[in-house]
Amino acid sequence: MSFAFATCERSRALVFLQKLYPSSIVTDAEESVKDILDLVEADEMRICDPDFHGGSMVFGDNKRPDTEERMFAALKKSGLVFKRT
């Protein structure tokens, strides 16, 4: 069993993303990570605390059949580099 601290709080997820990308402008705006934060707020996905988990993302309790597809579209739109594992 593993434990991961991951948030479904929009504001905390934004802080986690800002920590992950300190040299990028990461905001809750359409041209940045708004779509990612929308998925986080709906608890379809969660952002793990980068201090403990190095920037992992996991599915939330409200994952839908198309969540993964929308999640990767949101990640691509954000312009930030994400490594798919």
User: Per-residue pLDDT tens for 38-61?
Assistant: 999 999 999 988 888 777 888 999
Domain boundary assignment for the chain: 6-78
Span 62-72, mean pLDDT?
Answer: 95
Span 77-83, mean pLDDT?
Answer: 81
Residue 1 has pLDDT above 50, yes or no: no
For 72-85, the three-class secondary structure string (H helix, E strand, C coil) is HHHHHHHCCCCCCC
Predicted TM-score (pTM) of the model is: 0.86
